[in-house]
Amino acid sequence: MSILTDRPALRAEIDKVAEVAGYLWQKGWAERNGGNITINVTEHVDDTLRSLPAIAGPFPIGKQLPHLQGCWFYCKGTGRRMRDLARDPMANGSVIRITEDCAHYEIVADEPVMPTSELPSHLAVHDYLLAKGSPYRASLHTHPIELVALTHSRKWMVKDAATRMLWSMIPETRAFCPRGLGIVPYMLPSSVELAEATIKTIDEDYDVVMWEKHGVFAVDTDIMDAFDQVDVLNKAAQIYISAKNMGFDPEGMTEAQMRELSEVFGLPKSTSC
C-alpha cells in the first residue's frame, strides 16, 4: 500500500510533482533523466508516518544541515526520467526523512528508490530557506532551451542584463517573475561549489537562478509555482529569439513602462538595477 493512500493532502503535492514532470518532458526541458525535483512535505506527515521504519538507509548527505532535522522530502530518483515520473511518481521517486543528526537521510516509502545525485545541493538550499524563515518548500532544476541558449553569449551573463531584457519582452514577465533571473557562471554539475553559488544568488533575492550553459534552479512555495516562473521567463526568451530570427532586434518595453508596472502592482525590484 502506498503512503499516499488516505492522505489526500500529501497525494495532492505528489500529483503536482507528476504534473510538472509531464510538462517538463513535453517542453523538451527534461531529456533522458535530466532535471530534478525536491519538495518539502513535512507539513503533510502524520504520526503514523513518523512511526514507519526506514526501508533503506541511513545514507550520508555529505554535510550537516541543522534546520532539516526531522524534515521529510519527496525526491526524484537518480537516473529516473521525468516522463516516467509523470506516469508513476512513487515508482520513480521516494519519500525520505532527515535523521536526528541532520547529516543522514533514510528512505521511508514507497520503494527504495535512491534520490538524485544532486540531493545534497537541493537539501542545502532547503536548509537555507528554512533558516531564513522562507515559505518556499519546492525546488526545481530543469533545462529550458531558450534560457540556456542565452547563456552562450557573454552579453547575457552580466548581472541583471538578461533580467532587464526578459522583463521588457512582455508585461507578464515583470509581473509574474518580479525578482528576475539570477546568474551563476559555469561550474561542475552537482558540485559543492555550484550549490554554494546557487544559495548565494538566491540570497541576493532571486527565485530563479540560471546556471551558465546548463539549466535553471528555481524555488517557490510549491512545485507548480516554481515551474510557472521558469515557464514565464522562457516565454520571454522565446519572444526575444523569435524577433531576432525575424531579422530585427526587439524594441522591448521602456524603462518608464516597466517602472509603471512596478508601481501599479507593487513589485519588489526596480528595473534599473
Looking at residue 36, the DSSP 8-state letter turns out to be E
Side-chain half-sphere exposure of 195, counting CA atoms within 13 A = 18
Cross-strand bridge partners of residue 76: 93
Determine the average pLDDT of the residues in 137-145. 97
Q: Sign of dihedral through CA atoms 93, 94, 100, 103?
A: negative
**Is pLDDT at 271 greater than 50 in this prediction?**
no
Q: Return the SS3 of 248.
A: coil
Beta strand spans in the chain (E) = 36-40, 56-60, 72-76, 93-98, 104-109, 138-142, 181-184, 208-211, 215-220
Instruction: State mean pLDDT over 137-153.
Output: 97
State yes or no: pLDDT of 273 exceeds 60.
Answer: no
Report if pTM > 0.75.
yes
Q: Are 137 and 40 in contact (CB under 8 A)?
A: yes
13 is catalytic: no
Between CA 113 and CA 91 the distance in angstroms is 7
For residue 38, give the C-alpha cell: 525536491
Query: Strands 104-109 and 208-211, how do they pair?
Result: unpaired
| Average pLDDT, rounded, for the chain | 94
When pLDDT is cut at 50, 70 and 90, the band that residue 117 belongs to is confident
Same fold, 1-139 and 144-273: yes
pLDDT surpassing 60 at residue 132: yes
Asked if pLDDT for residue 192 goes beyond 90, the answer is no
What does the pLDDT read at residue 270? 63
**Averaged over 111-119, what is the pLDDT?**
92
pLDDT score for 114? 96
- Which entry of 31, 118, 212, 260 is annotated as an active-site residue? 118
**Residue 144: is the preceding peptide bond cis (ω within 30°)?**
no
Domain 1-139 grouped into CATH 2.60.120.620:
no
Answer left, alpha or beta for residue 212, where phi above 0 means left and psi between -120 and 50 means alpha.
beta
Q: CA 215 → CA 3, 54, 79, 102, 228, distances in Å? A: 32, 33, 17, 29, 15
**How far is Cα 205 from Cα 248, in angstroms, rounded to an integer?**
33
| Rounded average pLDDT over 97-126 | 94
**Domain regions of the chain by residue span:** 1-139, 144-273
Domain 144-273 matching CATH 1.10.1200.10: the answer reads no
Model confidence at 264, pLDDT cuts 50, 70, 90, reads confident
Phi, psi dihedrals of residue 248, rounded to the nearest 5°: -140, 160
pLDDT of residue 262: 84
